[in-house]
C-alpha cells in the first residue's frame, strides 16, 4: 500500500520528461554535473550518487518510509513507530502539492527519476524491493534527519523512562544543552588577514561512512547555478559549499527546540484532555508495523497512536504527554537548501536563510566582497515569557502552545565584526569571536535555551585566531589542522586532577609521569597523547551525557589498561594508536576528539592493534578570495568519491593524503580539473 500511494503522489506532480545531464569525472572521480535546467542537473546528480553509493540509498529508504522493520527485522521497529507516530507521511500527502513550489516539485521529480533510471539500467545493484524512489521520499528524509541533528530523540528517551524526568514548570530558569560530535566553520575578513583577503573554512564533522557521510559534487545549470560542496547520498542539494562569489559552512547547534506538555486527562476517560477548562478528545490513529522475523516470517504489530492540539501524544505509566517541536509539519527544507546554493549575493543568501525551513544549524558565511557572517540559525519557538521551558509544561493552557518562530533578526548573529573573524565550533553563540564582537546573551529571549557550553575546538580556535592579527592562508591551514587541547579547555581541569594523584605502584608512576609531561598535542609521534586523550575523552563523554565525572583513579586505571590493551605499552606513538582508513588499509593520523583536527576513533575489532577513525573531519575546504579578486580553494575527502565499492579506484584514493593533511585544488575551476577520466550523458524517461 505504501509503494502504491507514493507512486500516485509522484504521478500527481507536474513533471517534464526527457531530462538530460552531462557528467564529467575528474582524476579523483568527483562528479561535475551539468544540466541545461536545474531539473536536468538534479537528474544527473541522482545518477552520479547512485553510481557512487546506491547501496546507501537503498538501505536507508525504508527507514524514511517507516517500513524498515519489514526489511531488517524487529530492531528497526522503533524507527518505524517514530515515523508514523510523528505523522510524516500524513503531512507529506496533505501538503506536497500545496506547500512546495512547482519548480521544486519538478526538481524533485527529476532527482527521483535519476535514481530510478539508474536502477533500471543496473539491476545488479538493486537488492531490496524499494523501487520506485519518489520525490516524497526525499522530503521524508529531510524531515527525519533534521530532528536527529538537533537532538529530538532525547525527549523521547526521557518520556520512555520508568519515572517522570522533570518537574512541571512554574518559573524561568534555563539549562545548558548538550551538543553532539560537532563541526567547525570559520570566516576571516580582510581587516584580519595578511594581504587583505577573505578566508573561509568549511569543516562539518560527520560519520565517515553511512547515510550522513559526506559526498562531494560540483553542480552546474544553464539557469545559473555553479556550486560545489558536500551533501548526503539521497539529498538533492548541497549542505555546505561554495560558488565563485561566496561560500558557507554549517555546524550543529542544539538550543531548546522541543517542548513536552503534561496533559490533564479526564479521570473517567483516558482519551479526553482539558485545555482552557474544556474537554477535548485525543485524535486516535492506528500504527501498523510490519516486522520480518527469523529472516523471512512476516508479522504485523498493531499499535495505537494519539495526537492533541499540541502535537503527538505518548501515554506512559507516569502520565500522558504531548510533544511540540521545531519544524513540526515542515516539508520545505529542500527549498531553503536549494535557495542557499542558488544565491548570487550576500543579500540573496541571507534571504534564503530567512525562509526558515531548516530547523537548526549554525551557518558561517564569507564572500569575495569581504563580508563575513555568523548566525545561530534555528526555528526557535516564540514562547510565552516567564516559564521554565526546559521543564515540562502544563498541557491545560492554550497560551503555552506556540505557533510562531523568532525571525532571523531575533536570532544570535554577527555581520562583519570589529575583530575581523567568526569561529563556530558548537559552542555558545555568544562566544564566536573576540571580546566586543559577539552577540550579547542578555539581548535574546532566555526562554529559548541558548547553548552556553564551550568546546575545546571553540576555545582553542579563538585562542589561535586572537593571537594572529595578520592571518595568511598558511596560518589558516595551520589553525584548521591544529591538534592541541587548550589549557583553558574545561576538560583540562580533570586531566590536572589525575596528574596530581600519588602513584600506588611503578606502573602508575610511569603513567602519571607521561600525563604530567604531555604538551596537550596529538601529533603522530607524540608518546604522551594516548593516555591523555583517553582521560579527556572520559571527561568529554560525562559532560555530554550529564553524568558525574568518574573517579580520578578509576579513570587512570581504566586508561592505563585501555592503552596497554591496544598497544602493549603505556607510551605508544599516537600515530600507531590512531589510524585512518578502511578495512586493512590504514595510515597514522594526528588529531583527537574535540581538537580542531577532529578525529573520533574506535577499536573496530578486538584483535586490532590500533583505533580506526570513524567520525570527525571528513570532506573539508579552505577558501581564499584575494584582494585582487582571485579565488583559491583547497580541499580533501576522507576516503574518495566512490562510497561503497572497495574495488573502485576512488574508494580510498584520497585517504592517505587525508591522513597526512595534504589538500588539493578541487576541480571547481576548469584549470584545476586535470586528467578527466570519464565524460558521459545520462537521459531520463
Q: Which of 193, 633, 184, 632 is nearest to 370 (CA)?
A: 193
- By three-state DSSP, how is residue 558 classified? helix
In a domain, 664, yes or no: no
Average pLDDT of the residues in 230-237: 97
Per DSSP, the three-state class of 521 is: strand
Question: Quick one: average pLDDT of 352-357?
Answer: 98
Per-residue pLDDT for 279 more than 50? yes
Structural domain includes residue 510: yes
Does residue 379 carry a pLDDT above 80? yes
pLDDT for the residue numbered 298:
75
**Strand partners for 288:** 302
Q: Which of 621, 596, 600, 597 is nearest to 460 (CA)?
A: 596
Give the SS3 label for residue 127. coil
At residue 296, does pLDDT exceed 70?
no
Q: Output the pTM of the full model.
A: 0.92
Cα distance between residue 222 and residue 83, in whole Å: 37
Query: Is 576 inside any structural domain?
Result: yes
Given a cut of 70, whether residue 55 has pLDDT beyond it is yes
Is a pLDDT exceeding 80 seen at residue 7? no
- Cell numbers 592562508 correspond to what residue? 473
Q: State the DSSP code for 484.
A: B
What pLDDT shows up at residue 559?
Answer: 97
> Which range, of 106-110, 150-154, 638-642, averages the lowest pLDDT?
150-154
**Residue 221 to residue 338: CA distance in whole angstroms:** 12
The CATH code of the domain that includes 541 is: 1.10.1400.10
CA angle (361 as vertex; 32, 102 as ends), nearest 5: 60
Q: Is 234:60 a contact under the CB 8 Å cutoff?
A: yes
Q: Which three cell numbers stand for residue 396?
A: 491545560
Residue 260: closest CA among 319, 315, 322? 322
Range with the poorest average pLDDT among 215-224, 256-265, 673-682: 673-682
Share the mean pLDDT of the chain: 92
Residue 374 lies in a domain: no
Distance CA 33, CA 24 (A): 6
Question: CA-based angle 382:383:388, to the nearest 5?
Answer: 145
* Cell triple for 221: 545549470
Q: Which bin fits 161, alpha (ψ -120 to 50), beta or left (φ > 0)?
A: beta
Which pLDDT does position 140 carry in this prediction?
96
Alpha carbons 383 and 622: distance in angstroms, whole number: 39
Spatial separation of the C-alpha atoms in residues 646 and 367, rounded to whole Å? 38
pLDDT, position 361: 94
pLDDT-based confidence at residue 340 (cuts at 50, 70, 90) = very high
DSSP strands (E only) in 534-630: 578-582, 585-588, 599-602, 611-616, 620-625
Does 54 reside within a domain? no
Taking the C-alpha atoms of residue 375 and residue 365, their distance in angstroms, rounded to an integer, is: 9
Nearest to 594 by CA among 639, 550, 535, 634: 535
Is residue 17 very low, low, confident or very high in pLDDT (cuts 50, 70, 90)?
A: low
pLDDT at 164 over 80: no
Binned at pLDDT 50, 70 and 90, residue 151 comes out as confident
Between residues 675 and 657, the one the model is more confident about? 657
Residue 160's pLDDT is 63
Q: How far is Cα 365 from Cα 458, in angstroms, rounded to an integer?
A: 17
Q: Is the pLDDT of residue 446 over 60?
A: yes
Q: How far apart are the first and last CA of the chain?
A: 25
Find, among 491, 485, 375, the residue nearest to 430 by Cα: 375
What digits encode the pLDDT tens for the residues 241-250? Answer: 999 999 999 9
Contact 601, 212 (CB under 8 A): no
Greatest CA separation for the chain: 76
- Phi/psi for 112 (5° steps) reads -60, -40
For 162, the grid coordinates are 520508568
Strands of 224-316 (E only): list them: 226-231, 240-242, 246-251, 258-262, 265-266, 269-275, 278-281, 283-293, 297-307, 312-316
The more confident residue out of 182 and 496 is 496
Cβ 37 vs Cβ 222: under 8 Å:
yes
Residue 312 has pLDDT above 70, yes or no: yes
Q: Give me the pLDDT at residue 295, please.
A: 65
| Full strand arrangement of the beta sheet holding 421-424 | 421-424, 183-188, 198-204, 620-625, 631-636
For residue 15, name the pLDDT band (cuts at 50, 70, 90).
very low
The pLDDT, as a whole number, for residue 626 is 97
- Rounded average pLDDT over 340-357: 98
Q: Is the pLDDT of residue 672 over 60?
A: yes
% of residues, the chain, pLDDT over 90: 84
C-alpha cell at 449: 535555551
Assess if residue 585 is contained within a domain. yes
Is residue 675 a part of any domain in this protein?
no
Q: What is the pLDDT of residue 291?
A: 87
From CA 413, how far away is CA 215, in angstroms rounded? 29
Query: In this structure, is residue 74 part of a structural domain?
Result: no
Q: How far apart are CA 636 and CA 470, in angstroms?
A: 25
Report d(CA 54, CA 471) in Å as an integer: 42
600 Cβ neighbours under 8 A, 6+ residues apart: 181, 593, 613, 614, 615, 616
- Note the pLDDT tens digit of each residue in 566-617: 999 999 999 999 999 998 899 999 999 999 999 999 999 999 999 999 999 9
pLDDT of residue 170: 41
What is the residue range of 556's domain? 492-616
Q: Which residue has the higher pLDDT, 280 or 4?
A: 280
Q: How many domains, the chain?
A: 1
Query: Buried b / exposed e across 221-240, counting CB within 10 Å, b at 16+?
Result: beeebbbbbbbbbbbbbbbb
Q: For residue 16, is pLDDT > 90?
A: no
- Which of 51-55, 234-238, 676-680 has the weakest average pLDDT? 676-680
Contact (CB, 8 A) for 481 and 657? no
Between 160-164, 190-194, 449-453, 609-613, the lowest mean confidence (pLDDT) is in: 160-164
Q: Is the preceding omega at residue 168 within 30 degrees of 0, hence cis?
A: no
In angstroms, the Cα distances linking 388 to 157, 261, 410, 449, 546 are: 20, 12, 20, 9, 19
Q: For residue 456, give the 3-state DSSP assignment.
A: helix
What CA–CA distance (Å, rounded) separates 633 from 366?
Answer: 13
Amino acid at each position: 500500500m505504501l509503494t502504491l500511494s507514493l507512486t500516485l503522489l509522484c504521478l500527481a506532480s507536474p513533471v517534464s520528461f526527457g531530462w538530460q545531464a552531462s557528467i564529467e569525472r575528474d582524476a579523483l572521480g568527483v562528479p561535475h554535473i551539468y544540466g541545461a535546467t536545474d531539473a536536468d542537473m538534479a537528474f544527473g546528480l541522482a545518477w552520479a550518487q547512485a553510481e557512487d553509493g546506491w547501496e546507501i540509498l537503498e538501505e536507508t529508504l525504508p527507514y524514511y518510509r517507516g517500513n524498515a522493520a519489514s526489511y531488517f527485522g524487529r530492531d528497526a521497529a522503533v524507527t518505524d513507530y517514530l515515523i508514523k507516530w510523528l505523522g510524516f507521511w500524513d503531512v507529506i500527502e496533505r501538503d506536497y502539492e500545496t506547500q512546495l513550489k512547482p519548480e521544486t516539485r519538478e526538481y524533485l521529480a527529476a532527482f527521483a527519476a535519476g535514481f530510478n533510471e539508474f536502477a533500471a539500467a543496473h539491476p545488479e545493484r538493486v537488492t531490496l524491493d524499494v523501487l520506485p524512489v519518489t520525490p516524497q521520499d526525499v522530503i521524508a528524509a529531510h524531515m527525519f534527519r533534521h530532528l536527529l541533528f538537533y537532538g529530538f530523540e532525547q525527549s523521547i528517551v526521557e518520556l520512555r523512562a520508568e519515572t517522570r524526568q522533570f518537574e512541571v514548570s512554574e518559573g524561568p530558569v534555563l539549562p545548558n544543552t548538550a551538543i553532539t560530535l560537532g563541526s567547525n566553520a570559520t570566516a576571516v575578513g580582510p581587516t584580519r588577514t595578511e594581504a587583505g583577503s577573505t578566508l573561509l573554512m568549511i569543516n562539518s564533522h560527520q560519520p565517515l561512512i553511512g547515510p550522513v557521510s559526506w559526498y562531494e559534487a560540483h553542480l552546474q545549470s544553464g539557469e545559473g547555478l555553479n556550486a560545489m560542496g558536500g551533501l548526503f547520498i539521497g539529498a538533492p542539494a548541497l549542505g555546505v559549499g561554495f560558488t565563485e562569489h561566496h561560500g558557507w559552512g554549517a555546524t550543529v547547534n542544539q538550543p531548546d527546540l522541543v517542548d513536552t506538555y503534561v496533559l490533564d486527562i479526564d479521570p473517567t476517560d483516558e482519551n479526553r484532555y482539558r485545555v482552557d477548562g474544556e474537554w477535548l478528545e485525543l485524535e486516535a490513529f492506528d500504527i501498523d508495523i510490519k516486522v520480518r522475523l527469523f529472516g523471512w516470517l512476516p508479522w504485523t504489530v498493531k499499535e495505537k497512536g494519539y495526537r492533541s492540539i499540541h502535537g503527538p501524544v505518548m501515554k506512559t505509566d507516569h502520565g500522558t504527554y504531548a510533544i511540540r517541536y521545531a519544524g513540526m509539519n515542515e516539508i520545505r527544507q529542500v527549498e531553503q537548501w536549494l535557495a542557499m546554493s542558488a544565491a548570487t549575493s550576500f543579500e540573496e543568501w541571507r534571504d534564503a536563510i530567512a525562509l526558515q525551513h531548516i530547523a537548526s544549524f549554525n551557518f558561517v558565511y564569507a564572500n569575495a566582497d569581504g563580508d563575513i557572517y555568523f548566525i545561530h540559525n534555528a526555528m526557535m519557538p516564540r514562547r510565552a515569557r516567564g516559564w521554565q521551558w526546559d521543564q515540562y509544561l502544563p498541557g491545560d493552557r492554550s497560551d503555552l502552545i506556540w505557533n510562531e518562530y523568532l525571525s532571523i533578526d531575533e536570532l544570535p548573529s554577527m555581520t562583519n565584526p570589529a575583530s575581523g573573524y567568526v569561529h563556530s565550533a558548537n559552542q555558545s553563540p555568544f562566544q564566536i569571536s573576540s571580546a566586543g564582537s559577539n552577540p550579547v546573551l542578555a539581548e535574546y529571549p532566555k526562554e529559548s535555551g541558548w547553548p552556553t557550553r564551550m568546546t575545546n575546538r571553540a576555545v582553542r580556535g579563538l585562542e589561535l585566531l586572537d593571537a594572529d592579527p595578520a592571518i595568511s592562508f598558511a596560518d589558516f591551514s595551520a589553525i584548521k589542522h591544529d591538534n592541541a587541547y587548550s589549557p583553558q579547555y574545561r576538560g583540562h581541569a580533570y586531566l590536572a586532577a589525575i596528574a596530581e594523584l600519588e602513584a600506588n605502584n611503578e606502573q602508575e608512576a610511569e603513567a602519571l609521569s607521561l600525563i604530567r609531561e604531555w604538551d596537550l598535542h596529538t601529533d603522530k609521534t607524540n608518546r604522551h597523547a594516548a593516555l591523555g586523550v583517553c582521560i579527556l575523552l572520559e571527561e568529554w563523554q560525562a559532560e555530554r551525557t550529564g553524568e558525574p565525572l568518574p573517579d580520578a583513579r578509576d579513570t587512570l586505571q581504566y586508561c592505563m589498561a585501555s592503552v596497554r590493551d591496544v598497544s602493549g605499552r603505556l607510551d605508544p606513538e599516537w600515530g600507531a594508536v590512531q589510524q585512518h582508513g578502511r578495512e586493512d588499509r590504514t595510515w597514522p593520523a594526528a588529531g583527537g576528539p574535540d581538537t580542531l583536527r577532529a578525529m573520533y576513533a574506535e577499536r573496530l575489532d578486538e584483535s586490532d592493534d590500533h583505533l580506526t577513525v570513524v567520525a570527525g573531519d571528513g570532506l573539508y575546504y579552505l577558501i581564499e578570495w584575494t584582494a585582487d579578486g582571485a579565488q583559491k580553494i583547497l580541499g580533501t575527502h576522507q576516503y574518495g568519491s566512490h562510497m561503497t565499492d572497495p574495488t573502485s579506484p576512488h574508494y580510498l584514493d584520497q585517504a592517505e593524503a587525508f591522513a597526512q593533511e595534504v589538500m588539493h585544488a578541487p576541480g571547481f575551476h576548469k584549470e584545476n580539473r586535470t586528467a578527466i577520466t570519464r565524460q558521459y550523458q545520462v537521459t531520463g524517461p
